């Protein structure tokens, strides 16, 4: 079992480890353990950028042991929502941490000068990052660090770009070029601590208790991953496959959700982007290789026959946020804006929603070029590329405010009715029905992946009573606490069902029954909810933007009373827990 926790204190440049068998035995790992480590190491009232603000990276018992267990959970206080921050990333994060021998890494304090941290198995180094501070392209940062450090093939380079340095509240942390701790602003928290990157180099193993059983269960999971249909969607077109069907069903948010069907959807579809795939890559220890990388070949501005070729990974969510939401007409226009967002290491989803709001606000005359500097109009990729730069550099008050998210921007400038945020986090790409929006609202991370309401919407014909819907979504979220404590990729949820999880845990030393596992999911969920409450979450204050009731969904227009009843019911649960 991985039970060692590495503590790093940036204020004193010290580190130590503790064996926290107690925590891992009770809470598995990942989300379950991260919640407890947050409780132990940070006053919930601490502000996200305070010196005392704490960041936890946690893995679980299945990481580096089974395929598709390739995720790491990051937990922190979100500068975007001012509440619980949790985001998950793949790449080599989890295998590097697990192979280095850690179940979790806790980062506290604040460095006086820019540094990057290198965790090399049992050693931690604090490296001077003054020279690379200010390099805004996160890809260049990683190339420099990779040249400096060892551990090729067994390291994860989790770094911030310009957005994190400039404390954009939705700056992400990028790792292995194409994976992200995307949502809720971890990049800004590291930026506030003067940490340019966290490098983890891990080479190691743990002995399994039953070799035969280990290989049997492993092979079963491997076969399901490679031979059954369980991972087919991700293996073929990837999540981008959603564009066309969502458009046909009228569930695709277009131009700040003014509409849900789009004449240019075909151009931004998974099928269209597949035509320019340059290669595919995988997270460590995952045979699926769901990372789709498109080539964007651009001529030099002034020299004929000279080209540069950018390699950009895409998924459904960035296509939605920076494509359809911004009224892009071609895949190239979408990719050009994505390139900027990736270079600065911003959350693509929040950035897209912020720019879509700003564009509509411009159309309505609430703001003008006096605020936006460039004229924002749907479909204009050059203007959006420039605006992305302004979000990072914040040349005026407007961009300083837009860098705090759409909730804040609409508070200051108005236009709240079309400011698409839930619990302070910008909307994901599904306008599929009640479950999607209620799901974003009640999800503890305000993420579509918390409880997959969007998926429920696409399966159901008629809705139950709102209270029932809330119970169903909560139940899904409770099971997902187990998946994110193991930590397996949510894309593999069709493989990691309770029965197989119990069998997979046995060879790594954990005996647990299915029913106990489900109860544990519920327990972790409520622990997280209580932590969220202690951080100031008030479900009664959840705001549902008017826009979601105005625009057609696959289930027709949504009724405000139904949604309100659901939120009220959830608020009661929160109050009583």
Partner 1 sequence: MSKKVRRLVIKDIEKCVGCGMCMYACSRRKGEAGIDASGILAVSLSGFERGATVIFCRACVEAPCAQVCPTGAMRVREGGGVIYHETDCIGCGNCIDACTIHAIFRRSDGKPAVCVHCGYCADYCPHGVLAYEEVEPESFRRVIV
Of 13, 126, 218, 562, the one binding partner 1 by CB under 8 A: 218
| Choices 14-22, 41-49, 136-144, 437-445 (CB under 8 A): range interacting with partner 1 | 136-144
Using the structure block, give the residue that is written with the tokens 């249909």: 229
Closest to 289 (Cα-Cα) out of 226, 345, 241: 226
Residue 500 touches partner 1, criterion: CB under 8 A:
no
- DSSP label at 367? S
CB of 471 to partner 1, least distance (A): 37
Q: Residue 284, interface with partner 1 (CB under 8 A)? A: yes
Of residues 504-533, those binding partner 1 (CB under 8 A): 507-508
Choose, by CB under 8 A, the member of 19, 148, 205, 368 that binds partner 1: 205
Question: Quick check: 64 binds partner 1 (CB under 8 A)?
Answer: yes
Which member of 67, 327, 433, 545 binds partner 1 (CB under 8 A)?
Answer: 67
Please list the alpha-helical segments (H only) found in 291-373. 316-319, 331-344, 348-363, 369-372
286 binds partner 1 (CB under 8 A): yes
Would you say the C-alpha torsion 561, 562, 567, 572 has a positive or negative sign? positive
Question: Does 285 interact with partner 1 (rule: CB under 8 A)?
Answer: yes
55 upstream amide cis, omega within 30 of 0: no
Which listed range, 74-82, 182-190, 283-291, 392-400, lies at the site for partner 1 (CB under 8 A)?
A: 283-291
Find the shortest distance in angstroms from Cβ 374 to partner 1: 28
Sign for the pseudo-dihedral over CA of 319, 320, 326, 331: positive
Q: Which helix (H) or strand (E) holds 425?
A: strand 425-426
DSSP states of 27-86 as a string? H-SHHHHHHHHHHHHS-TTS-TTSTT--EEEE--TTTTTSTT---EEEEEE-TTTSSEEE
Burial of 397 (0-12, 13-18, 19+ CB in 10 A): exposed
Q: Collect all residues with Cβ–Cβ distance below 8 Å to 121 and sequence separation of at least 6.
A: 100, 101, 201, 202, 203, 204
Span 78-97, contacts to partner 1 by CB under 8 A: 95
- When asked if residue 120 is in the footprint of partner 1 (CB under 8 A), the reply is no
The yes or no reply on residue 12 touching partner 1 (CB under 8 A) is no
> Per CB under 8 A, does 223 bind partner 1?
no
Is the Cα dihedral 438, 444, 449, 455 positive or negative? negative
Q: Considering the rule CB under 8 A, would residue 116 count as an interface residue with partner 1?
A: no
The residue with tokens 């590097």 is 96
List 197, 243, 283, 566, residue binding partner 1 (CB under 8 A): 283
Pick from 19, 123, 128, 204 the residue near partner 1 by CB under 8 A. 204
Residue of 280, 416, 471, 503 interacting with partner 1 (CB under 8 A): 280
- Please check whether residue 325 is in contact with residue 255, taking contact to mean a CB–CB distance below 8 angstroms: yes
Cβ pair 338, 324 in contact under 8 A: no
Binding positions for partner 1, 434-493, rule CB under 8 A: none
- Binding interface with partner 1 (CB under 8 A): 64-65, 67, 95, 98-99, 121, 139, 142-143, 146, 152-154, 176-178, 203-208, 211, 214-215, 218, 222, 226, 279-289, 291, 293, 311, 507-508
């Amino acid at each position: 079992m991985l039970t060692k926790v590495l503590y790093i204190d940036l204020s004193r440049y010290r580190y130590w480890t503790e064996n926290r068998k107690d925590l891992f035995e009770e809470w598995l790992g990942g989300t379950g353990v991260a919640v407890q480590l947050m409780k132990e190491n940070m006053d919930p009232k601490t502000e996200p950028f305070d010196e005392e603000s704490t960041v936890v990276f946690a893995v679980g018992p299945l990481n580096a042991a089974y395929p598709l267990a390739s995720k790491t959970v990051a937990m922190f206080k979100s500068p975007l929502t001012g509440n619980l921050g949790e985001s998950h990333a793949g790449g080599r994060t989890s295998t590097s941490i697990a192979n280095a021998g850690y179940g979790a890494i806790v980062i506290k304090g604040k460095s006086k000068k820019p540094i990057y941290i290198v965790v090399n198995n049992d050693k931690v180094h604090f490296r001077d990052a003054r020279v690379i501070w200010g390099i805004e392209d996160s890809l260049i940062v990683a190339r420099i660090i990779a040249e400096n450090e060892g551990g090729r093939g067994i390291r994860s380079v989790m770094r911030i770009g310009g957005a994190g340095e400039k404390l954009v509240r939705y700056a992400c942390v990028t790792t292995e070029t194409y994976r992200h701790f995307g949502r809720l602003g971890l990049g800004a928290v590291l930026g506030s601590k003067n940490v340019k990157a966290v490098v983890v180099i891990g080479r190691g193993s743990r002995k399994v208790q039953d070799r035969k059983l280990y290989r049997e269960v492993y092979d079963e999971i491997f076969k399901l991953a490679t031979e059954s249909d369980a991972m087919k969607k991700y293996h073929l077109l990837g999540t981008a496959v959603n564009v066309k069907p969502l458009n046909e069903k009228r569930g695709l948010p277009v131009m700040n959700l003014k509409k849900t069907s789009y004449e240019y959807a075909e151009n931004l579809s998974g099928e269209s982007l597949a035509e320019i795939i340059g290669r595919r890559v995988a997270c460590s220890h995952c045979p699926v290789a769901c990372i789709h990388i498109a080539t964007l070949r651009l001529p030099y501005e002034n020299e004929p026959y000279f080209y540069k070729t950018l390699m950009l990974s895409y998924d459904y969510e960035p296509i939605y946020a920076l494509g359809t939401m911004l009224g892009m007409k071609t895949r190239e226009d979408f990719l050009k804006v994505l390139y900027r967002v990736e270079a600065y290491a911003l959350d693509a989803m929040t950035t897209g929603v912020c720019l879509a709001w700003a564009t509509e606000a411009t159309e309505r005359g609430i703001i003008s070029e006096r605020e936006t500097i460039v004229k924002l109009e749907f479909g204009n990729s050059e203007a959006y590329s420039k605006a992305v730069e302004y979000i990072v550099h914040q040349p005026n008050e407007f961009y300083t405010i837009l860098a705090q998210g759409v909730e804040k921007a609409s508070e200051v400038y108005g236009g709240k009715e079309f400011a698409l945020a839930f619990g302070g986090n910008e909307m994901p790409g599904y306008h599929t029905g009640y479950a999607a929006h209620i799901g974003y609202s009640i999800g503890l991370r305000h993420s579509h992946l918390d409880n997959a309401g969007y998926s429920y919407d696409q399966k159901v014909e008629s809705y139950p009573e709102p209270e029932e819907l809330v119970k169903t979504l909560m139940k899904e979220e409770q099971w997902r606490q187990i998946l994110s404590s193991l930590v397996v990729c949510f894309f593999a949820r069709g493989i990691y069902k309770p029965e197989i999880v119990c069998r997979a845990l046995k060879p790594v030393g954990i005996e647990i029954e299915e029913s106990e596992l489900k109860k544990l999911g519920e327990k972790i969920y409520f622990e997280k909810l209580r932590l969220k409450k202690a951080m100031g979450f008030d479900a009664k204050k959840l705001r549902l933007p008017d826009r979601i009731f105005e625009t057609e969904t696959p289930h027709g227009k949504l009724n405000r009373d139904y949604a309100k009843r659901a939120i009220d019911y959830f608020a009661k649960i929160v109050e009583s827990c």
